[in-house]
Structure 1
Amino acid sequence: MYDGLKKLEVPTKSRHPGARRGVKYGLIGLLVLVVFVVSTGIFTYLKVQSNISKGHRNFSGLIAPPPKGPLNILVLGSDARSVVEAGQRNERQFRGGSGQRADTIILLHIYAGSKHAVLISFPRDLRVNIPGHGINKINAAYPLGGANLMIKTVSQLTGLDINHYVEVNFASFRDIVNAVHGVPLYFPKPLYDLKSGLNITQTGCVTLNGDQALSFVRARYIYANADLGRIQGQQRFIRALLNRVKSLGVLLYPPTLIKLSEVAGKGLIFDKGIDLGLARSIANSLKFDQKNVDFRQYPGTPRYVGGVSYVVPEPTAARALFNSLKTGGPLPDVGKTGQSLPSPSDVTLSLINASGRSGLAGTVRTKLATKGFHVPSISSSTKHITPTVITYQAGDELKAELVAKEFPGATVKLATSSQLTDIVVTLGRSYGASAASPTAKATAKPAVIGSCP
């Protein structure tokens, strides 16, 4: 058997007088390095655990998850202003009246095995039965009975056990974004919202700092459908944040991990079952991969009831959604948003034949239609190109990635002008080339949502 240490031994002292000393000092240096790495890891672990424990609270209504079973984590965005420094409370992103309300309500369902998850957003105006208080908007549960009543309300509404609870306030959200050095988002046009303080003056890629990010996720009036539009904006931001955390390798970088744990301990509130071990287990399984996290919205329709504006639940669709979570089955096509993982039936695309091969667009259209894609129009171009080009509009990155699987080797890029369909595919001379080519592998995947193209 090979013995590494014996291999390092020197036959005679006279021929190599400093060799044994070198080996000895080399081994000592190696041991010092190992001790340093291990001790740093232990220090980081203890420091992070200590920071996280500062945010631990007791809650009623939480049910311990079954071993190796799914997890349901209720995440609440609170608009509490008491945690904001007095000098900043009049800044627009922190305004909104007194008291403490549920500004954002999200249920994160992590499937058994933790390989993928779905994040479900609840409209603030969702019309529900709040236990002990009757019919009201779901966000009224928080001021009426705090986190415990919100846990009970969401569990009753969904039929799911809630295993963990996390509460994020304005200040901690801002600090989390700053701890990861900002979150990049692509803006096709400038955006301004007086109520939230959002003021994006440039187009293209903008790395939002904590204050800008808070203004963005709170903005409603930049969307035609207000709160429902804001949900999609928040989900887009979460996708971008996931991508940012993945790119930084946060779990492997102690300074950032410690900084995030300090923010968590100082500003977040969560149950005592949440610790570094659980967080790492989830993160390592999901790998912050965009395709491992789907997004949905509680199915409902905006409607006035008794002169009050609500989002009225669609019980049949909601039952199908939450029953699929109970059984671990595939998600039904309900409650989809712009950030849901798309299927072919969600994609509308146009084909332009620039290959010089007559009838190619019609052949490709038939192939795509059999897979469920919508292809309302085809055309030809006299300007021929070699590589196939796929263009997509901002926000349709995941659709572009799905389409790119049908066109190995294609160049995928953001559209520079408006398109009549989600995706435009311009067929080039190289269409039909081997899918195994290195070029195809290198170019077939577009930018993930929220990142800068």
Structure 2
Amino acid sequence: MTYTQPGHQARGRAPEPRVRRRRWGRKVVAVLVVLALALVGFVLYVDYSLKREQALPVDGERPQDGPGTNWLLVGSDSREDLDQERKDELGTGDTAGRRTDTVMLVHIPASGGMPTMVSLPRDSLVEIPGQGEDKLNAAFAYGGSQLLARTVENNTGVRIDHYAEVGLGGFADITDAIGGVELCVKEPMQDPKANLDLQPGCQTLQGPQALGYVRTRATARGDLDRVQRQREFLAALTEKVSGPGVLANPFRLFPLILNTSQSFLVDSGDHVWHLGSLGLAMQGIASGQGVTTTVPFGGFGETDGGASVVEWDEEGAEKLFGALAADTPVPQEVITTAEGIGG
């Protein structure tokens, strides 16, 4: 046994590299601080990149603010920021202004339960404040996002908390940023107006094809078929975005984040962390942990001008939106899809 006097190091044993350990520890802390600051800076940059406007009503009578969170999601046909080459590629035409191609209401329960996504057909016959009865998308044409939001609130009784809108070019850019989305097309689809020519079968749709797929109404049931395809595509898009092929690939993830932030228009009070919460809810819906439905269908009708419209089943719609406003489960009997109506 070797006896070592107190305070002395045993022969042959090197001194503990305490100074070196402290230096390495400081370096690790410094790197972590730099990474944290870089992450915060990136989040702030993305948040700053969001386009904002006062999209929700600021005055007048509105539904009572209930539990849970409600989003109004809008796909507009805005051609802003598209040059002629891009317009030709996407088959958008040269129409000026913004109109709605897609309108969806997403409810996120306060309890963290299953979210609900409701498609509101753009041809729905609704009461537009100050304009009388007309198609839902006419509200946007009359008064932009504020009038559209007010129209949705007045006809559903659901108070909207957040607003997100994406234009044609942004939709295509987001799809391209993740390398396209795979969908199974059931029948041939041709629509020269949308530059769409698809054959049956499972295939990966790139930006221009995806845009045509969710926009075309050149099918038997027009708007009803379209809202079904929109939900189908949105689920496939969300599923791919949340998969390792995107999240673990910085060459996919960062272009996606940047394209998303620069493509979305949100309400003046919305931020990137609100969109993050929406993304989590959409991921749940895409994985089957949520409810997707269309407003209960009451039939087809016509406006005074002879335009075809979609009429809601008033009793079913009242049950559906009443459940969302009260943050209670949606009754099973009012959950439907565009495939099961209007045939």
Q: Structure 1-normalised TM-score?
A: 0.64
The equivalent residue for 1:271 is 267
The equivalent residue for 1:158 is 156
Deviation at 1:198, TM superposition (A): 2.0
Query: CA 1:130–1:28 in structure 2 vs 1: closer, same or farther (change >3 Å)?
Result: same
Q: C-alpha separation between the residues in 2 aligned to 1:40 and 1:255?
A: 19
Q: C-alpha separation between the residues in 2 aligned to 1:209 and 1:152?
A: 34
The equivalent residue for 1:36 is 31
Q: C-alpha separation between the residues in 1 aligned to 2:25 and 2:206?
A: 41
Q: C-alpha separation between the residues in 1 aligned to 2:63 and 2:42?
A: 26
SS at match of 1:273: coil
SS at match of 2:334: coil
Deviation at 1:255, TM superposition (A): 6.3
Query: CA 1:13–1:189 in structure 2 vs 1: closer, same or farther (change >3 Å)?
Result: farther
The equivalent residue for 2:75 is 77
Relative contact order (C-alpha < 8 Å, sep 6+): which is higher? 2
Query: Is contact 1:76–1:166 with CA below 8 Å preserved after alignment?
Result: yes
Deviation at 1:83, TM superposition (A): 2.5
The structure that is helix-richer by fraction is 2
2:266 is the counterpart of 1:290: no
Aligned positions of 1:19-418 closer than 5 A: 20-21=16-17, 25=20, 28-29=23-24, 31-54=26-49, 55-61=51-57, 69-95=67-93, 97-188=95-186, 190-201=188-199, 203-204=201-202, 206-221=203-218, 223-248=219-244, 256=252, 258-284=254-280, 288=284, 290-300=287-297, 301-306=299-304, 307-332=306-331, 333-337=333-337
Q: Structure 2-normalised TM-score?
A: 0.83
Deviations 1:225-279 (A, max 9, x none): 1110011111111111121122138678766554334223422210233223333
Q: C-alpha separation between the residues in 2 aligned to 1:53 and 1:311?
A: 39
Query: Is contact 1:93–1:218 with CA below 8 Å preserved after alignment?
Result: no
Query: Is contact 1:72–1:162 with CA below 8 Å preserved after alignment?
Result: yes
Q: C-alpha separation between the residues in 1 aligned to 2:37 and 2:46?
A: 14
SS at match of 1:291: coil
Q: C-alpha separation between the residues in 2 aligned to 1:103 and 1:329?
A: 29
Deviation at 1:106, TM superposition (A): 0.9
Gaps in structure 1 of 5+ consecutive residues:
1-10, 341-453
Query: CA 1:201–1:34 in structure 2 vs 1: closer, same or farther (change >3 Å)?
Result: farther
Q: C-alpha separation between the residues in 2 aligned to 1:272 and 1:249?
A: 33
SS at match of 1:94: coil
SS at match of 2:308: strand
Gaps in structure 2 of 5+ consecutive residues:
1-7
RMSD (Å) for aligned C-alpha atoms: 3.1
Q: C-alpha separation between the residues in 1 aligned to 2:249 and 2:268?
A: 24
Q: C-alpha separation between the residues in 2 aligned to 1:174 and 1:143?
A: 23
Q: C-alpha separation between the residues in 1 aligned to 2:194 and 2:86?
A: 14
